[in-house]
C-alpha cells in the first residue's frame, strides 16, 4: 500500500428504532448500509495547506491547518471540524489534498454527514499513522459535528458508520458505549426506504431545541428524584409524578424518550425471536410518538406512514433520522415491494407533486481502507 495515498470509505446507516434517544444516554438499534462516502487522500508536500474537492457538490475549498474557522454552512464545516478535533486530540498533520464523493443521499436521514466525517478521519488516521482507535475516531467525528457544524448530535451515527457489521444490527447503550450485534435475518421481509425528497429548514434548529427541552425535563424530574442523571434513568411513573411541574411540551418530549428506550429493547427481543410482526408494531409506535410527542415529523412523512397501514404486506413503518423530511423505513414483504412502491409513488405524486425515491439497502461493514 502506498502510504502517501489512501482511499477510505465509511457507510451511511439506517436506524431500525431508537430515535433521539442517543443524546439522552439511551439505547439505539442502527445498522450500516451499502451506501457510502469515499475519501481519496494524498500528502501534498506542504506544511499546512489543505485542498479538498467535493465530487457531489462540484466545488473545492482550500485552507490552512493553523487557520480553521467555521463557515455559515456547508460540507466544508464537516471537513474542517474533523481536522480541528484530530489536532485537538494531539494529531500531527501536514498538508494534504482530498477528494470525496459517495452515494449516501443527502438529507435522507441515512447520515451522509457522519459517513463523510468518518471516511475522512479514518483515512487521515491511516495516511499520517495517527494511531487512533475506532472509539477515538467516533468521538472525534461527533465533536466535529458539535463544534463546527453546530449540531449537537448523539453518538449513534458515527458509531454505526465505523463499527457496522455485515448482516447485523447493533444495540448500542449510549451511556456505557457497550454494544451487541444482532443478526438481521429477515426471511421473506426486507427494509425499504422511501425518501420524501423534502428537507424542511426546521431540522437543524429544532434538533438542538429538542435537546434543550430534554435537559429541562431532566432538571424538573431530578428535583423530585435526585438520582436521575438523564432521561435514560426516568420511568413513566416518575414522569407522571411530575406532571404538574412539567410544561406540556417538555412532558411530551420526555414521554417519547422514555417509551422509545423501551421500544428499542423490545425490538431486540423481537429480532432474536424473529417476531417481525412485533418489530413492525414497535416501528409504528415509534413513528406516532415522534409525530405527536416529539413533534419532529412532517406531513409528507406522515402521509407515507399512513399509506402503509392500508397494505397488509407492510408490517411496520416510521420516520427515520432527525425529522422534518428524509426517509421512512418500512418493513415489507420482499415480493410485494414493487407493487407497493408503485402505489405509494403514484399517491405521493398526486398529493404533493413530488417524485418518491425508494431504496432497498443491504446491511454492510463499517469504515475501512480500500486502497
- In angstroms, rounded to a whole number, what is the distance separating the alpha carbons of residues 232 and 26? 5
Residue of 157, 173, 275, 365 marked active site: 157
- The residue among 79, 68, 345 whose CA lies nearest residue 196 is 345
- In angstroms, rounded to a whole number, what is the distance separating the alpha carbons of residues 199 and 191? 22
- The residue among 320, 24, 28 whose CA lies nearest residue 191 is 320
Cell numbers linked to 80: 474542517
Contact of 316 with 330, CB cutoff 8 Å: yes
Q: Look at residue 349 and give its three-state secondary structure.
A: helix
- In angstroms, rounded to a whole number, what is the distance separating the alpha carbons of residues 16 and 279? 9
- In angstroms, rounded to a whole number, what is the distance separating the alpha carbons of residues 369 and 134? 13
- The residue among 298, 299, 266 whose CA lies nearest residue 283 is 266
Cell numbers linked to 152: 449537537
- In angstroms, rounded to a whole number, what is the distance separating the alpha carbons of residues 126 and 284? 42
- The residue among 273, 188, 191 whose CA lies nearest residue 15 is 191
Indicate if 275 belongs to the active site.
no
Burial class (CB in 10 A: 0-12, 13-18, 19+), 109: buried
The DSSP H or E segment spanning 356 is: none
- In angstroms, rounded to a whole number, what is the distance separating the alpha carbons of residues 200 and 301? 11
Residue pointed to by grid coordinates 417476531: 275
Contact of 81 with 150, CB cutoff 8 Å: no
Q: Which residues are catalytic?
A: 157
Amino acid at each position: 500500500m502506498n502510504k502517501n495515498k489512501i482511499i477510505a470509505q465509511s457507510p451511511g446507516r439506517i436506524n431500525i428504532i431508537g430515535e433521539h434517544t442517543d443524546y439522552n444516554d439511551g439505547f439505539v438499534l442502527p445498522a450500516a448500509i451499502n451506501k457510502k462516502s469515499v475519501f481519496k487522500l494524498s500528502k501534498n508536500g506542504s506544511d499546512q495547506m489543505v485542498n479538498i474537492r467535493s465530487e457531489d457538490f462540484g466545488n473545492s475549498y482550500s485552507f490552512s491547518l493553523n487557520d480553521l474557522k467555521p463557515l455559515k454552512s456547508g460540507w466544508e464545516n464537516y471537513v474542517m471540524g474533523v481536522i480541528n478535533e484530530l489536532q485537538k486530540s494531539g494529531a500531527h498533520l501536514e498538508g494534504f489534498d482530498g477528494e470525496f464523493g459517495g452515494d449516501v443521499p443527502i438529507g435522507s436521514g441515512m447520515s451522509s454527514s457522519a459517513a463523510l466525517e468518518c471516511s475522512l478521519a479514518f483515512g487521515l488516521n491511516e495516511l499520517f499513522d495517527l494511531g487512533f482507535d475506532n472509539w477515538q475516531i467516533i468521538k472525534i467525528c461527533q465533536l466535529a459535528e458539535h463544534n463546527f457544524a453546530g449540531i449537537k448530535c448523539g453518538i449513534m451515527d458515527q458509531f454505526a458508520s465505523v463499527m457496522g457489521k455485515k448482516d447485523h444490527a447493533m444495540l448500542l447503550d449510549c451511556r456505557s458505549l457497550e454494544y451487541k450485534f444482532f443478526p438481521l435475518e429477515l426471511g421473506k421481509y426486507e427494509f425499504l426506504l422511501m425518501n420524501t425528497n423534502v428537507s424542511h429548514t426546521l431540522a437543524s434548529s429544532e434538533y438542538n431545541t429538542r435537546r434543550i427541552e430534554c435537559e429541562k425535563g431532566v432538571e424538573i424530574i431530578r428535583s423530585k428524584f435526585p438520582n436521575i442523571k438523564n432521561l435514560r434513568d426516568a420511568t413513566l411513573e416518575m414522569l407522571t409524578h411530575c406532571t404538574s411541574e412539567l410544561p406540556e411540551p417538555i412532558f411530551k418530549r420526555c414521554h417519547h424518550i422514555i417509551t422509545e428506550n423501551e421500544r428499542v429493547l423490545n425490538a431486540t427481543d423481537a429480532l432474536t425471536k424473529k417476531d417481525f410482526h412485533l418489530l413492525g408494531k414497535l416501528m409504528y409506535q415509534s413513528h406516532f410518538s415522534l409525530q405527536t410527542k416529539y413533534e419532529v415529523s412532517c406531513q409528507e412523512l406522515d402521509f407515507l406512514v399512513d399509506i402503509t397501514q392500508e397494505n397488509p404486506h407492510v408490517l411496520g413503518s416510521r420516520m427515520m433520522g432527525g425529522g422534518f423530511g428524509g426517509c421512512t423505513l418500512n418493513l415489507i414483504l420482499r415480493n410485494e415491494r414493487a407493487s407497493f412502491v408503485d402505489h405509494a409513488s403514484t399517491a405521493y405524486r398526486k398529493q404533493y407533486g413530488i417524485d418518491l425515491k425508494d431504496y432497498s439497502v443491504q446491511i454492510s461493514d463499517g469504515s475501512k481502507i480500500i486502497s
